[in-house]
Amino acid sequence: MFMNFFTELRQAKVPVTLKEYLMLMEALDRDVIDHSVNDFYYLSRATLVKDEKNLDKFDRVFGHVFKGLEKVELGLNADVPAEWLKAMSDRFLTDEEKQMIEEMGGFDKLMEMIAQRMKEQQEEGEDGDGDEEGKKGGRGKDGSSPFGANGFHPEGIRIGQDKGRHGKAIKVWDKREYKNLDDSVELGTRNIKIALRRLRKFARTGSADELDMDGSIKGTANKGYLDIVLRPERRNAIKVLLFFDIGGSMDGHIKLCEELFSAAKTEFKTMEFFYFHNCLYESVWKDNRRRNVEKIDTWDVLNKYGHDYKIIIVGDATMSPYEITYPGGSVEHWNEEAGAIWVDRLTNIYDSVVWLNPTGERHWDYTPSIGVLRQLVNDRMYPLTIEGLDKAMRELVR
């Protein structure tokens, strides 16, 4: 069984090694955990998963391999304080729902009924109406019984189905806590922060306000009296320049761009940002509400920020190819120089440039303008997913 677990993790592209597998086996031999599926889950996850982006894949494989090892009955005799149950009921349930629970006899009665029903109806469950007075009275579907998955009861148990409908089940064994961390899904703010942390270069600058423990110990030993040594705080010295495409086809990606912007402001101490529309031209802006009266010359931006800045362009690169390759191609104004010239200038001035595209990579080949811009940024365009952002950060730190 454990070997099958290891093999399926590899097949799911979770990078586990034989050394990690043997470490897990050694931990089991030494009885470092109790004989519990939950304990084994946390032990194996800590041993075999090295990157948070693989947690969802691990959960899916774990649920597939070990599903059914731990039955609901294991929790039937748990000592749940009555005060705790009452507090939870008062907090989450309506008066009508509380009355339903009282009619059932409370939590203890509920768990006893589950044990009896599970024993009596191993083969039934799809045809019952889920009510106490129903002909089968079982773990029916879409009823009001406390047993089953697609029905309603304020204090229920999920049995058999892969999801619930009301989210009030007390026991949900197949819950996946990390389903948004898969490296093939779009990002949330927390996941973006994790990916951006790969772009780090630490340096100690500024005032000395942090205790240097090693220096203090060494100084005290050498001088024979307490010598407190302070040092500047260790900060991320990476400088980032962000260009956001705004408006038009990017309106559908506003939420994702907001999350990226929020995460970047948290992760990078030195960061500047500007907006553009579709392609870089002779001007950019900082405030979209005043974009027509407070534009900034792109040349001024390129001359102001040094070559050590990392450039991140965010846009779907979806437009007419003429907007990139011809003077006057912009849909908003007459541009004296083609957008391709400005993108080329950017890549010639800065060594580290990446383009993040929120459009799914599988669609790129069907949009000619994406191919043009990929070529202009030397094929350093990446999808705005965890995996794509991870690759982009690796490119920027090369």
Q: Spell out the residues 6+ positions from residue 60 whose beta carbon is closer than 8 angstroms to its own.
A: 12, 176
pTM assigned to the model:
0.52
Residue 251 to residue 229: CA distance in whole angstroms: 52
**Burial grade of 54 (CB within 10 A; 0-12, 13-18, 19 or more):** buried
Is there a contact between 337 and 298 (Cβ–Cβ < 8 Å)? no
pLDDT tens digits in sequence order for the chain, 398 residues long: 788 888 888 888 888 888 888 888 888 888 888 877 888 888 888 888 887 778 878 888 888 787 755 443 444 444 555 555 556 556 556 677 666 666 666 656 655 666 666 666 555 544 444 444 444 444 444 444 544 444 444 444 444 444 444 443 333 335 555 555 454 444 556 666 666 766 655 444 556 667 888 888 888 898 888 888 887 766 657 889 999 998 888 988 888 888 888 888 877 878 899 999 999 999 999 988 777 788 999 999 999 999 989 999 999 999 999 999 999 999 888 999 999 999 999 999 999 999 999 998 999 999 999 999 999 999 999 998 888 888 998 898 88
Q: Is the dihedral of CA 261, 265, 266, 269 positive or negative?
A: positive
Is there a contact between 346 and 280 (Cβ–Cβ < 8 Å)? yes
CA angle (44 as vertex; 43, 46 as ends), nearest 5: 65
Three-class SS state of 309: coil
Residue 94 to residue 152: CA distance in whole angstroms: 14
State the DSSP string of 317-343: --S-THHHHSTT--SSS--SS-HHHHH
pLDDT at residue number 136 = 43
pLDDT at residue number 212 = 82
State the DSSP string of 247-288: SGGGGGGHHHHHHHHHHHHHH-SEEEEEEESSS--SEEES-G
Is there a contact between 346 and 302 (Cβ–Cβ < 8 Å)? yes
pLDDT at residue number 49 = 87
pLDDT at residue number 90 = 61
Of 374, 237, 243, the closest CA to residue 308 belongs to: 237
Is there a contact between 241 and 310 (Cβ–Cβ < 8 Å)? yes
In which residue are the tokens 């010295």 written? 237
Q: Spell out the residues 6+ positions from residue 56 whose beta carbon is closer than 8 angstroms to its own.
A: 176, 178, 179, 180, 181, 182
State the DSSP string of 17-64: -HHHHHHHHHHHHTT-S-S-HHHHHHHHHHHH--SGGGHHHHHHHHHH
In which residue are the tokens 């799911």 written? 12
CA angle (35 as vertex; 34, 39 as ends), nearest 5: 65
pLDDT at residue number 87 = 61
Estimate the share of the chain in helix, then strand, then coil, as percent rounded to the nearest 5: 45, 15, 40
pLDDT at residue number 129 = 47
The tokens for 373 are 């811009």
